[in-house]
Structures are given as C-alpha cells and as structure tokens.
C-alpha cells in the first residue's frame, strides 16, 4: 500500500511546478491551419484542407508547439524574464555561480476556491512532405506528442501540496483547521495523468469540382502511433468529518494508481471533409467577384486522432473500510522519508490494498473539429473554429482541451498575419494571440498575455514552423507545348 501513497506523494510534491511549468497538447492550437497557404500544416485542423492547398509540394523541416496553463498559480517575477536573454538579471536574483535563481515565492496562488486544473502539452512535427500528384495530394507525416494533466484538484488539497505538508508554513493550520472551521473540507475527487507518443502517417486527399466554382474535398491520414507508457492517479470524493487539537478524521476514501512502461503500437487515423461554397453565377455581382476571389466560405468537418493504446498496467488500489484518524505528525510525515511506514500503518488498520496487472486503454487526444473560413475581401479572411474534445476530463486518456476561436487574417502568397481571439482551456479563459507567416517561417502565440505581461502570467503558448515548398501547380507537358507554340506563332506574325 505504501507504493500508492509513495507514488501519490511524489506526484503531488511536483504538482506546484507541474501546474505552472510543464506542458508537453499532441495537437496544439493551429490558428493558421485554415490559411490557403498552410500546406502540410493544414492537416492539424482537417486532412481535407490539403486537397485545396496552393502548393505543388510542401516540406516541413521542423515544427513545434507548446502550451501550459492552469487556474491555480501565476508567475510574478520581480524582473522581466527577457532580461535573461540579454544576461541582465539583477545580481540579487542570481546564484553564487551567476545562474538565474528561481524562487518558489514568485509562484502566487490565485484567490478563487474553484477546483484546480492544469494541462501541459507539446507537439513536435518532424520532417513531413505534401506533394501534388495530378488531382490528388499525398503526404508523409511524422510527429511526436506529450500530454500531462491535473483535473479537479480541490483548492485546499492543492494548498497542502503547495506548502509541502509543512505545518510551519501553514499547511496544517490553513488547509485543515481554517477550512474545517468554515464548514468542512469536501473534495469531489481528482485525476492526474501523463502520457505521449510518436507517430508516422501517410496522407491522401482529393478535391472535386462542382458547379459555380464550388468544390468538395475529402482527406484521410492513417498513422502508426508508438507509445512508451503512461502514468495516472485518481481518488474519490472525501471530507474531513471531525477535528481535534492535533488530529483529524477523514471519511471513507478510494484511490488508485496505474502506470506502465511498456512500448505499444496502435493504429490511428484523421478523417475530414470540406465544402467550398460560392454563390450561383447568376447571383454573383461585380463586387462579389472582386471580393470573393477564392470562395465565399470554406466549411470543414474533421475528427482527429482516432485510436488508442492497450497497456498492461501496474494497478494499485486503496479503499478504506471506515473513516481514518490521522495525527498532525502523520500528516507532516507524508512529506518525509518515512512516508511508506506512515501510510502502511494507517491503511493496514483502516483499509484494504489491492495490487494487480490490469489491461488499460489509453486513448489518443481524439477531438471534433468544425471550421468556417469566410473571405471578406481579396486578401482578408475571417476563420472560426470549434474544437471539442471527445475524451473525458477525469480520465487517463490523452486529451485535447476544447476551445472556440475566431481569427481574422490578411493573406498573400508570400506573407500573412492573423490575430486569433478565443475561449481556450475548455472555454475557461479568453485569450488574444498573434501569428505571422514570412516565406518559409510560421511563428506565433495564442496568448499574448504570457509575452507582454511576463511578471504576472498564468499560461504560456508558442509555436514555430519552418518549411520550404513551391506554390502553384507545375505545368503539364501539353501546357508547356501550347505556350511554346503560342510564343513561336507570335514571333512569326511579328516577322510577317
């Protein structure tokens, strides 16, 4: 049984750092994915976008995106982190060797009493190629993804962990005594999980012409995903039922942990369809044709990352038969080297521990993507995206956080700029970002707050892509011969 508490203790002691720093979301937000020049990056929103893309070929050299967010801690530094770039950190905030000295006191807790959530994710795109072959687009995609989450952690429980079970720092008095005097401590259960994978996929998509320059496209990207294990911990709701001078009593509780370091292979797929709408030709005015040079609207529907791993996980569960009495000293020892002996004594008397190997399914971050891209003028577009995760928040699965996003952009062949504005992090936070494309470089963020307000930040988001490619279909042999005949004919007429 000590194993469960030991795992739980180690995870919880890292939680304050995890809640703020670690973020490793496969599919991170891609506000530029609906661009008509997104190339292979459009696959991160909808695999059918590639069939409508303007590239004859597009090669990603390297790409990465990270995102970290939480609703418990905010980083309040006494100096701007940008000083570290110029090696101008104030001396009093350096170590003896001259390195930056990070202090836990810079992590401030937010006043809200709502359950605490955190998510950390990273998406890396390896060498990937998209190429036009007649009326088809084919591609090869490589990527890696990591995801760690904490869901529905009670505020007072988060305080205990943040204060490292240290009564001198107020962990017992603030989190136990004060809460109980205000009524009682009641948690609704929580979950912590972490996992990741690498994948290689083959892409195919095609577009079909309809009347009035309308189109419909479909795309699919089957993938082989390689997982290297997972870890997870969950506990049921419980409350403190009574309080004495130096002890307290906890109601019945159930907790479990699962982890595996197995290497597994899973089949995954992305599927999508897109409809390009234009008004019927008789209804197209001169102004319409001037402004809608590409389309009136591009409407997409896709489901990404369909698939799951199957692991043989080490499973440990703990279930108390009755309420558990815990002395203040036992509470403090949960952050000590004797955590195993303390937890064993407690639960040998009050509960039952089970250990076994259990088959556990860990799903990929499956999500529904719905998008509409509207052309306002020749180079001005407004894109709307709704991404809804199809994985439960209190599960061990990898999970894409849901969001609503509106992105106006100015787009040309060689450069573009966009300003994404949306409700992120399961619709909890309003954020504004900025991205740009200059030739082969895509760069941006969905949260300018993390860059502009560096002394009071609670999230971080950044993405970058570097690629090369050719825009426009290569001319066929017949087209080249026609051009040559036209040029030759024109010269002869001039001579005559």
Q: In the chain, where are the structural domains located? A: 2-72+110-495
pLDDT at 402 over 80: yes
Q: Kindly report the number of other CB atoms within 10 A of residue 35's CB atom.
A: 26
The DSSP letter of residue 392 is -
Q: For residue 240, what pLDDT is reported? A: 72
Q: Label the pairing between strands 459-471 and 441-445.
A: antiparallel
Residues 6+ apart with CB under 8 A from 179: 156, 185, 240
pLDDT at 92 over 70: yes
pLDDT at residue 493 in the model: 44
pLDDT of residue 168: 72
The answer to whether residues 365 and 400 touch, using CB atoms and an 8 Å cutoff, is: yes
Phi, psi of 267 (to 5 degrees): -90, 135
**pLDDT at res. 457:** 77
> What is the model's pLDDT at position 18?
40
How many CA atoms within 13 Å lie on the side-chain side of 295? 22
Q: DSSP characters for 37-92?
A: T-GGGGGGT-GGGGGG-SEEEEEEEEEEEEEEEESSEEE--SS-THHHHTT---GG
Alpha helices, H only, 318-406: 328-333, 339-350
340 has a pLDDT exceeding 80: no
Cβ neighbours of 263 (radius 10 Å): 11
472: left (phi over 0), alpha (psi -120 to 50) or beta: left
For 164-213, the pLDDT digits (tens) are 777 777 777 766 666 555 555 667 788 999 999 999 999 999 999 999 88
**Residue 33 CB-half CA count within 13 A:** 26
pLDDT on residue 372: 96
Extended strands (E) in 253-323: 254-260, 264-277, 297-306, 308-320
Instruction: Please write the tens of the pLDDT for every residue from 221-273.
Output: 999 999 999 999 998 887 776 677 677 777 778 889 999 999 999 999 999 99
CA 139 to chain centre: 24
* Residue 23: pLDDT band with limits 50, 70, 90: very low
Least confident of 3-7, 42-46, 86-90, 93-97: 3-7
Work out the average pLDDT over 377-396.
Answer: 94
Residue 463 to residue 124: CA distance in whole angstroms: 10
Task: Give backbone dihedrals phi and psi of 185, rounded to 5 degrees, phi first.
Answer: -90, 125
Q: What is the pLDDT of residue 347?
A: 58
> How confident is residue 308, by pLDDT bands cut at 50, 70 and 90?
very high
Report how far residue 34's alpha carbon sits from residue 383's, in angstroms, rounded to the nearest whole number: 7
The residue with greater pLDDT, 419 or 349, is: 419
Identify which of 454, 396, 458 has the alpha carbon closest to the alpha carbon of residue 430: 458
Tokens encoding 187: 């948690």
Per-residue pLDDT band at 283 (split at 50, 70, 90): confident
> How is residue 183 annotated by DSSP?
S
State yes or no: pLDDT of 414 exceeds 60.
yes
Check residue 29 and give its pLDDT.
53
pLDDT in tens, 435-482: 999 989 999 998 888 777 766 777 888 899 999 999 875 554 454 555
Per-residue confidence at 22, pLDDT binned at 50, 70, 90? Answer: very low
Residue 392: CB atoms within 10 A of its CB come to 12
- What is the Cα–Cα distance from 107 to 126, expressed in whole angstroms? 34
CB of 404 closer than 8 Å to CB of 372: no
152 CB neighbour count, 10 Å cutoff: 17
**pLDDT at res. 215:** 95
The reply to whether the predicted model has a pTM over 0.85 is no
Query: Are the C-beta atoms of residues 253 and 321 closer than 8 Å to each other?
Result: no
> Helices 2-20 and 155-162 meet at what angle, rounded to 10?
90
Residues 403 and 384: beta-carbon distance below 8 Å: no
Bridge partners (DSSP) of residue 250 are 240, 324
Share of the chain above pLDDT 90, in %: 46
Q: How open is the CA angle 355-359-365, to the nearest 5 degrees?
A: 120
Using the 8-state DSSP alphabet, how is residue 173 labeled?
I
pLDDT at 13 over 50: no
Query: Alpha-carbon torsion 318, 323, 326, 331, what sign?
Result: positive
> How buried is 448 (Cβ within 10 angstroms: 0-12 exposed, 13-18 middle, 19+ buried)?
middle
Task: Identify the residue with better confidence: 425 or 336.
Answer: 425
């Amino acid at each position: 049984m000590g194993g469960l508490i030991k795992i739980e203790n180690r995870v919880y002691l890292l939680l304050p750092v995890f809640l703020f720093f670690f973020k490793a979301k496969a599919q991170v937000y891609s506000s530029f994915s609906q661009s008509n020049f997104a190339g292979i990056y459009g696959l991160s929103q909808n695999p059918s976008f590639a069939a409508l893309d303007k590239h004859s070929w597009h090669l990603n050299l390297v790409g990465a995106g990270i995102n970290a967010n939480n609703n418990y801690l905010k980083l309040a530094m006494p100096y701007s982190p940008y000083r570290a770039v110029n090696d101008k950190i104030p001396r009093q905030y350096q170590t003896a060797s001259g390195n930056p000295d990070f202090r836990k006191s810079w992590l401030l807790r937010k006043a809200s009493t709502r359950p605490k959530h955190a998510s950390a994710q990273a998406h890396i795109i390896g060498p990937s190629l998209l190429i036009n072959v007649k009326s088809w687009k084919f591609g090869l995609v490589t990527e890696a993804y990591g995801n760690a989450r904490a869901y529905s952690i009670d505020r007072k429980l988060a305080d205990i962990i943040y204060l490292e079970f240290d009564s001198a720092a107020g962990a017992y008095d603030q989190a136990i005594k004060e809460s109980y005097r205000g009524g009682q401590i009641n948690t609704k259960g929580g979950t912590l999980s972490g996992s990741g994978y690498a994948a290689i996929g083959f892409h195919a998509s095609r577009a079909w012409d309809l009347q009035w320059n309308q189109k419909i496209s479909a795309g699919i990207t089957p993938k082989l995903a390689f997982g290297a294990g997972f870890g997870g911990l969950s506990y049921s709701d419980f409350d403190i039922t009574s309080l004495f001078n130096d002890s307290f009593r906890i109601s019945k509780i159930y907790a479990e942990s699962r982890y595996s370091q197995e290497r597994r292979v899973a089949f995954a797929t992305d599927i999508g369809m897109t409809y390009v709408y234009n008004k019927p030709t008789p209804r197209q005015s001169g102004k319409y044709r001037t402004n809608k040079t590409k389309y009136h609207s591009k409407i997409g529907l896709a489901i990404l990352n369909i698939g799951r791993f199957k692991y043989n996980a080490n499973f440990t569960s703990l279930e108390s038969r009755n309420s558990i009495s815990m002395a203040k000293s036992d509470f403090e020892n949960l952050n000590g080297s004797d955590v195993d002996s303390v937890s064993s004594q407690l639960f040998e008397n009050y509960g039952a521990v089970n250990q076994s190997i259990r088959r556990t399914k860990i799903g990929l971050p499956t999500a529904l993507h719905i998008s509409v891209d509207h052309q306002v003028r020749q180079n001005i577009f407004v894109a709307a995206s709704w991404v809804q995760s199809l994985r439960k928040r209190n599960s061990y699965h990898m999970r894409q956080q849901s969001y609503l996003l509106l992105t106006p952009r100015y787009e040309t062949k060689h450069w573009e700029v966009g300003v994404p504005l949306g409700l992120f992090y399961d619709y909890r936070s309003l954020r504004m970002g900025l991205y740009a494309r200059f030739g082969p470089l895509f760069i941006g963020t969905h949260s300018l707050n993390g860059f502009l307000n560096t002394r009071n930040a609670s999230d971080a988001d950044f993405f970058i892509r570097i690629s090369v490619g050719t825009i426009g279909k290569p001319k066929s042999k017949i087209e080249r011969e026609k051009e040559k005949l036209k040029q030759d004919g024109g010269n002869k007429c001039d001579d005559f």
